[in-house]
Structure 1
Amino acid sequence: MWPCKRTMVVFVVLLSAIISTVTINKVPYDQFKHLMNNSMVEQLFHEEPCACMEKCLAASDDEWFTEHFRQDVPPLLSLNNSVLPDNIYAWWQSLQSTKSKASYSKVIQQLFSVIPGEGHYRDAGPSRCRTCAVVGNSGNLVGSFYGPLIDSHDFVMRMNKAPVEGYEKDVGSRTTHRIIYPESAVHLDNTTHLVLLPFKTLDIQWVTSALTDGTIKRTRFKVIDKLKANKDKVMVIHPGFMHYVHTKWLNIKSRRSYPSTGFLVLMFALHICDEVNVFGFGANSKGTWDHYFEKMPKSFKRTGKHSGGIERQTILKLQERQLINIYTGW
């Protein structure tokens, strides 16, 4: 297998230098062979974990990171990985206010009769450098002028109903992935991936319905029954991935608590990207928790069933260890 382009460029430069040395200084053939067998040359053909110049997240040797990060946990559901172990299924069911009477296996069969069932983004390797912007909804984006920087990433992930139009200079204009649950859904264009966060079995039933006959019109409350979205670009976060984030990254024992949407999206990005930059998380410079597109009540900082303090500490630790970059806008 050929090394990545960066390695090839460096090799060509070094080889040219060696040949010039041999030609100009008339180095004997035996010495030339020694140069060509030099470990520096051999190292150039050693495959890098990714093609990024600065970091490759999945290949990080940071001890704390490797204790938490599990590359074998699939972030997205597919036909081949949809069976849930009993403990994960029990945890996922515990999040639901009412137990579903629907057969999980039938729900999955119906889902993948509508959307693609193959695995996604399991393509990490020496030729890939995927940069991702995780864009939250914080008011600290106002006046940031981060728009062009956000748009420069390969993937731009946004959450729920966060608007783009009218805010482009601060939040960018591109959206490659929109992560939603039924109650936060919005219509999408044909180029954007809809990524469903399924907090209950009914959520998976809803996305199947919303892309077909629209029979489900209410979950916790009224939802979009007929959703405009590209069926071929719809994905579903794996309940097992949600459980892994809950237990491995947050180390939460409570069965009724679960990770926030923002934290789950960040973890999703860590698993499918080589470089991750975070925008629009946290309070603004005045300590308020408004969205960039709306004022929020003072009680908004309350995190409900999410462990906001642990999530914040974990995100800050990722930054301190230079595993992600956080742009605060101020």
Structure 2
Amino acid sequence: MLSWDCPPGHSSTFSVSPSCSRVDAHAVESGTEAPAYSQVNDWEAAAGHPVRLVPGYPSVKHRPPPPRLPKTCLCRHCLRQPGFSVWFDRHYDPAIAPVWTLENQELSPDVQRWWMMLQPQFRSHNTVDILTQLFKIIPGHNPYTQLNPLSCRRCAVVGNSGNLRGSGSGKEIDGHNFIMRMNQAPTLGFETDVGAKTTHHFMYPESAKNLLANVSFVLVPFKALDLLWITSALSTGQIRFTYAPVKAFLRVDKEKVQIYNPAFFKYIHDRWTEHHGRYPSTGMLVLFFALHVCDEVNVFGFGADSRGNWHHYWENNRYAGEFRKTGVHDADFEAQIIDMLVRDGKIKVFRST
């Protein structure tokens, strides 16, 4: 019996690759391999024509395709599905939780040191002691541990770029399961372009505002004082100032308060933005949070507007390009990361025309 020994995934339906060699199947089973074109009829040998296997001939043994991994979700394209992007798979680490919990409250020395140096002018504290008190007020568990392969969690990450103005993206944004916004991000009066719904709002103490009861407040802490502030703002109201005035009391659903994990923060800085800028922008922090808790991620309101101006959608000053000029973040490198995520089918970016 004759067969073609081809590499896995190589199809011999239409043509024969030079990398495939013809072998005698019985000889292979007995431990000896016949030379190529060894079986010929007498008349063919006399004519000097070796027998060439006809593709699709019934005696050909085809190797089965490599097994497919089970899908991680019911979306058409599951962003966490391995095997589609070597670059993404090499950088992505699903083991690092995006939220700070009782389980991971003790930071490794290198993470603790890096995090404390983000705003070194503030006195250090024992973060475990602070979190122990905080987790008496808010949940201390990770709500994203169970990702259901029988569901499709679609998430919208909504930035604050002026390119949302006139986009008409509101209905599209509101159609997602999770809608993540950051800092000020007003929706009242801008519903047509930015949507009306919010499920997650990422803020610092200095940008914090009251939220509706069904919205998760996600604190992005840069210092131990931020943890003391959220503990105070949900209880005694003692802390009213960090480096700027902050809300003494915060009206949010305590059961939906989450703390951004500094280890996850550093993971983005190390693996993804690769130390470009002092630390990643809020937009990148929210984007990668979504990449770790969602099955599909769509991005709105990132980057400059159609005229190349950097400003917020609620601002009339088109030249308020503070983000790009601070030097704290590397907007150009972060834009490259986003472009690569789009290229590899991990996210979609919606921009107004």
Change (3 A) 1:292 1:298: closer
Is 1:208 paired with 2:202? Answer: no
Segment drifting more, 128-137 vs 299-308 = 299-308
Name the counterpart of 2:19. none
- Secondary structure of the residue aligned to 2:80 is helix
- Secondary structure of the residue aligned to 1:58 is coil
- Secondary structure of the residue aligned to 1:59 is coil
Counterpart-to-counterpart distance in 2, 1:227 and 1:152 = 28
C-alpha offsets along residues 270-310 of structure 1, whole Å, 9 cap, x if unaligned? 00000000000011111111211013444423143112221
Name the counterpart of 1:307. 330
Name the counterpart of 2:71. 48
Name the counterpart of 1:117. 140
- Secondary structure of the residue aligned to 2:186 is coil
Question: Contact conserved, 1:247 with 1:253, CA < 8 A, in 2?
Answer: no
Name the counterpart of 2:204. 181
Q: How many residues are treated as equivalent by the alignment?
A: 286
Counterpart-to-counterpart distance in 1, 2:100 and 2:338 = 25
Counterpart-to-counterpart distance in 1, 2:339 and 2:118 = 27
Q: Over aligned residue pairs, what C-alpha RMSD do you find? A: 1.8
Counterpart-to-counterpart distance in 2, 1:285 and 1:60 = 35
Segment drifting more, 302-311 vs 149-158 = 302-311
C-alpha offsets along residues 32-63 of structure 1, whole Å, 9 cap, x if unaligned? xxxxxxx9xxx99x8421111x2111123210
Counterpart-to-counterpart distance in 2, 1:101 and 1:325 = 40
C-alpha offsets along residues 64-98 of structure 1, whole Å, 9 cap, x if unaligned? 00011100011001101111010110100111232
Counterpart-to-counterpart distance in 1, 2:266 and 2:282 = 13
C-alpha offsets along residues 140-171 of structure 1, whole Å, 9 cap, x if unaligned? 11111111100000000011011000000100
Name the counterpart of 1:59. 81
Residue 220 of structure 1: how far off its partner (Å): 1.3
Residue 133 of structure 1: how far off its partner (Å): 0.2
Counterpart-to-counterpart distance in 2, 1:240 and 1:302 = 27
Displaced runs of 4+ in structure 1, greater than 4 A? 296-299
Name the counterpart of 2:35. none
Counterpart-to-counterpart distance in 2, 1:152 and 1:165 = 18
Change (3 A) 1:100 1:184: same
Counterpart-to-counterpart distance in 2, 1:104 and 1:212 = 18
Alignment of 1:41-120 (within 5 A): 47-52=70-75, 54-61=76-83, 62-120=85-143
Name the counterpart of 1:170. 193
| Structure with more of its chain in helix, by fraction | 1
Q: What 5-or-longer segments of structure 1 have no aligned partner?
A: 1-38
Higher RCO structure (Cα 8 Å, ≥6 apart): 1
Identical residues among aligned pairs (%): 44
- Secondary structure of the residue aligned to 1:281 is coil
So what's the TM-score if we normalise by structure 2? 0.78
Q: Pick from 293, 307, 311: which aligns with 1:286?
A: 307
Q: What 5-or-longer segments of structure 2 have no aligned partner?
A: 1-63
Name the counterpart of 1:260. 281
Larger radius of gyration: 2
Counterpart-to-counterpart distance in 1, 2:148 and 2:334 = 29
- Secondary structure of the residue aligned to 1:194 is strand
